[in-house]
């Protein structure tokens, strides 16, 4: 019995199949998981092939973690503070979608700092006029 995912899963690497099979519940459709299991079982991998796949998975996770923890450089922080706006919130969404979690968080934070600074500045000017 085949399903629409059989061809897709057959093109996946051993490491990708292992990652799919070990993914949290709900990440993949049940039919996709069944196809991945069927393809994986059909490959009859040796211990060395499994170990290579596991190493590839751990390398990919380390790379993703390093990417997620990469800090935002100083210039974007300064620009977000000086020119806060909705555009920067959208940029933070792009960072988040690309896996740069820390960069997204920092650009939102400095945008908020900029908004607060300008709000306080306007409030002080208004209070000094009254």
92 and 118, same domain (yes or no): yes
Same domain membership, residue 74 and residue 58: no
Q: Does residue 26 form part of some domain?
A: yes
Residue 41's Cα: distance from chain center in Å? 30
| Residues 6+ away with beta carbon under 8 Å from 38 | 6, 9
Which is nearest to 90 in space by CA: 81, 35, 7, 80?
80
Beta-carbon contacts of residue 115 (< 8 Å; ≥ 6 apart): 84
48 shares its domain with 84? no
Residue-level pLDDT, tens digit, the chain, 130 residues: 567 788 888 888 888 888 888 888 888 888 888 888 888 888 887 888 888 888 888 898 899 999 999 999 999 999 999 999 888 889 999 999 999 999 999 999 999 999 999 999 999 999 999 8
- Spatial neighbors of 70 by CB under 8 A, at least 6 apart, are 100, 102, 103
Task: Establish if 101 belongs to a structural domain.
Answer: yes
pTM of the model: 0.69
Asked, for residue 1, whether it belongs to a domain, the answer is: no
- Residue 71 has which token pair? 């800090």
In terms of domains, do 112 and 88 share one?
yes
Q: Are both 58 and 76 inside the same structural domain?
A: no
Same domain as 113, residue 78: yes
- What is the number of domains present in the chain? 2
Domain region containing 123: 70-129
């Amino acid at each position: 019995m085949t399903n629409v995912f059989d061809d897709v899963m057959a093109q996946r690497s051993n490491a990708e199949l292992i990652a799919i099979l070990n993914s949290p519940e709900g990440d993949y459709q049940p039919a996709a998981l069944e196809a991945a299991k069927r393809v994986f079982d059909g490959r009859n991998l040796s211990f060395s092939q499994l170990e290579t796949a596991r190493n590839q998975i751990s390398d990919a996770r380390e790379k993703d973690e390093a990417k997620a923890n990469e800090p935002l450089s100083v210039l974007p922080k300064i620009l977000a503070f000086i020119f806060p706006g909705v555009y920067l919130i959208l940029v933070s969404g792009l960072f988040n979608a690309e896996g740069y979690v820390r960069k997204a968080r920092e650009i939102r934070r400095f945008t908020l700092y900029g908004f607060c600074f300008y709000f306080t500045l306007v409030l002080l000017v208004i209070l000094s006029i009254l």
